[in-house]
Chains A and B, each alone.
Chain A
Amino acid sequence: EAEVAQSPRYKITEKSQAVAFWCDPISGHATLYWYRQILGQGPELLVQFQDESVVDDSQLPKDRFSAERLKGVDSTLKIQPAELGDSAMYLCASSPSTGKNTGELFFGEGSRLTVL
């Protein structure tokens, strides 16, 4: 069964360092999402791609976060510099839907970031 792949699974870093997360969505899925989930809260959308284009990045802290999906397939989310408040689970999801009505999202296992 096809899955969304994410790496690394766990990352511990010191504040002010740079961090990068990678996501490979299910083959053929046009839409890719990066969510951040703080412990005890629900996932919060950071950025949404439709193929290689950003559709929504309104909640992405652009002074320190960047995301790209250059060939419309895999994606990288970068944080530079990392801050203590960035400690969270970073979830990648993909969906085959391209229209207005979203079908289910397929999530990866997430990347757990701890900033010391």
Chain B
Amino acid sequence: SQKIEQNSEALNIQEGKTATLTCNYTNYSPAYLQWYRQDPGRGPVFLLLIRENEKEKRKERLKVTFDTTLKQSLFHITASQPADSATYLCARGGGYNKLIFGAGTRLAVHP
């Protein structure tokens, strides 16, 4: 079955540092991966989409990579701020217009 695995342990970093979150997938490479941010008690908010043929994608302080050899995507937040504290969800395409989500990694940025 198609699975998305994210580090279940919370990531704690100091303000100003780069946060790196990992997303691993099983079986065949999906055509794309998506990353979402979710604040407590709120719905997820879309951040970035990266396609299989794209190695890297950037948006402001965010960067996503897609390594089909390692079956892995890395999500980076540079110059992190306390406001970046949230849970970050990785999702893969799972068929016709379907998204399969990982459990998410909670990020805490400390002043």
Contact = CB atoms under 8 A, between A and B. Distances in A.
Interface of A: 4, 31, 33, 35, 40-45, 48, 50, 55-56, 89, 91, 93, 95, 97-110, 112
A112 B91 CA distance: 22
B111 interface: no
Contacts of B100: 45
A93 B44 CA distance: 9
Contacts of A99: 97
9 closest Cβ pairs, A-B complex: A107-B43, A42-B101, A104-B46, A42-B103, A43-B101, A102-B97, A107-B44, A109-B43, A110-B43
Interface of B: 4, 6, 31-32, 34, 41-46, 49, 89, 91, 93, 95-104
11 contacts: A42-B91, A44-B101, A45-B100, A56-B96, A100-B96, A101-B32, A102-B32, A102-B34, A102-B97, A102-B99, A103-B49
A2 to B, nearest CB: 14
A7 to B, nearest CB: 13
Given A42-B104, A43-B101, A56-B98, A102 B42 contact: no
B97 A31 contact: yes
Contacts of A105: 34, 44, 46, 99
Contacts of B45: 107
A100 B52 CA distance: 14
B91 to A, nearest CB: 8
Given A55-B97, A56-B98, A102-B32, A43 B44 contact: yes
Contacts of B42: 109-110
A112 B41 contact: yes
